[in-house]
Amino acid sequence: MIAISACGSKESENVDTNLKPKPLAAPFRFQRTIEVKPGLLYDVLTWGRGKDSTSAYLLLRSDSTHQKFKATVAGELTGKPMDAWDMDLDTDGNPEIALQVQLADQLTDLYIYEFDQLGNSSVIRFPALSEKARKGFKGKDDIYIKDGNLRRDFLYQDPEDQQAKPRKRTLEYRLFKNTLSIQEIENDAKK
C-alpha cells in the first residue's frame, strides 16, 4: 500500500499497488477480449468442471457499431488454454481468431476460425506434427507470427539417433482458401 497526500490536504488516499487479475468465477477458466477493429470485439471463453485438460470454448462477437451481438462458435476443447489472438494470414480483411492450448505432452495446438463481415465462421484446421516429428519432439513448442505468417518452433531430436543433439526446428504455415500448408524453415546458426 502507498499513502498519497496532496499539498494543503490533511487526508491521505490509500492506493493498492498489488493489483492482480481477478480469477474467473467457476466454471470459467479462461477469458480473452480481442479487439479486431474499433467497435468489433471477440470474447474467447473456456469453461469446465473437474479435469483441467478437457473443457469447452465459446467465441462471442460484439459489433457495437452495428449493434449486433451473437455467440459465433462453441465446441469441446482438449488442452489447457494459454492465449488467444487475431490475425489475417490470407490478407483478405476477414479476421482469424486463434485459441492456443497446451496439450498434456507439451505440444501446442490451435483452434482457428475465420470470420466474415457478418460474423459467420469457417474452421481452419491446424495441422498436427508428422509422426516422425512427434517421435522426435523434445519440447519448447512456441507458436508466433513472423512476416505475416504463422510459425512454430520446437526442439527436435532424430528418433533414430539418440546421440544426436536436439536442434530447433521451425515450421511455417501459410493460409490459402482456409487451408494451412506447412513448410520447414532452415534455422540460421546465428539465431
| Residue-wise burial string across 40-65, b where 16 or more C-beta atoms lie within 10 A, e elsewhere | bbbbbbbbbeeeeeebebbbbbbbee
Query: pLDDT per residue over 31-80, tens digit each?
Result: 999 999 999 999 999 998 876 667 899 999 999 998 999 999 999 999 99
User: Whole-structure pTM over 0.85, yes or no?
Assistant: no
**How much is the pLDDT for 189?**
46
Calculate the alpha carbon distances from 19 to 23, 27, 64, 75, 110 in Å.
12, 23, 29, 33, 30
Q: 75 near 111, Cβ under 8 Å?
A: yes
3-state SS assignment for residue 54: strand
The CA distance from 42 to 76, in Å, is: 18
